[in-house]
Structures are given as structure tokens and as C-alpha cells.
Amino acid sequence: MQRRTFIHLSAYTALALTLPFADGCSPSPENIASRPFLFSQLADKKTIAEAGIAYRKKFPKEDDKTLLSNLLIGANASLDKSAIEKQLDDRVLNDFRTGKTIMAAGWVLSVTEARQCALYSILNA
């Protein structure tokens, strides 16, 4: 085999092997929504999951991945990652300003954060 042919075949093989994973590299809106940014600065993944489980027990009607995704993202699923994160962070701050808080697993969380934790606990069960 000629060197040029070998290099071309190697490049095509590498490209063919990486293409199926291209879409998987960017997180889905659902995964983005399941990351409570402010709360994650204080708590580890286990604590986030525990808070999510506690929220789901308090509000069994919201113990559904699709419902939580819709409550958190709604029609904004087509936005890019940073826009979704900003929207959720703004909602968390607004929840605290307006007193929309809840106690979950010993933590005072905004309703938005609690829902993010609940979604996290479902996705990472």
C-alpha cells in the first residue's frame, strides 16, 4: 500500500469513527436544566440527588422527567446552552426575591432549584 493511500484511509477511518458521537458531545437541554448552578456551588452530586428525591416525595405529581423538563425549559429547548443556563439562573434569583422557596433535605432552595435537583435525581438514578 502506498503511503498516500494509507494516510487517506486513516483519515477517513478516524472521521467515520467520530461522526456517530458528534451529537452526543453537546449536552441536551434536559441535562442542562438538571444542573442547579448556584446550589452546586455549595453541595456535591449526592446532596443534589438527595434534595431532588426529597422534592419528588413532597410533590409526587411532579415526579416525572417530562413534566419537570417542561416546567424548567418549556418552549425554550431550542435555545443554546448558555441561554438556557442564564434563563434558569434568572428564575432561581427571582424565586428567592419573591419568596418562592421550599425546604428539601434540610436545604432552603428556590422552587426552580428544587425542580432542577429533582430532574437530576431522575436522570442520574
- The reply to whether 14 falls in a domain is no
- The reply to whether 59 falls in a domain is yes
Cα–Cα separations (whole angstroms), residue 21 to 77, 102, 104? 21, 39, 37
Q: Which SS3 state, helix, strand or coil, does residue 112 take? A: helix
- The reply to whether 7 falls in a domain is no
Predicted pLDDT of residue 80: 84
The C-alpha angle with vertex 118 and arms to 116 and 122, in degrees rounded to 5, equals 115
- The reply to whether 100 falls in a domain is yes
- The reply to whether 119 falls in a domain is yes
Domain count, the chain: 1
Range of the domain at 41: 24-123
- The reply to whether 80 falls in a domain is yes
- The reply to whether 1 falls in a domain is no
CA separation for the pair 26, 96 (Å, rounded): 30
- The reply to whether 5 falls in a domain is no
How do residues 12-61 score in pLDDT, each as one tens digit?
Answer: 555 455 544 444 567 888 888 889 988 888 899 999 999 999 999 999 99
pTM score, whole prediction: 0.77
Predicted pLDDT of residue 19: 46
Where is pLDDT greater, at 23 or 107?
Answer: 107
Among 23-37, 67-81, 94-108, which stretch is predicted with the lowest mean pLDDT? 23-37
What amino acid is encoded at 2 in this protein? Q
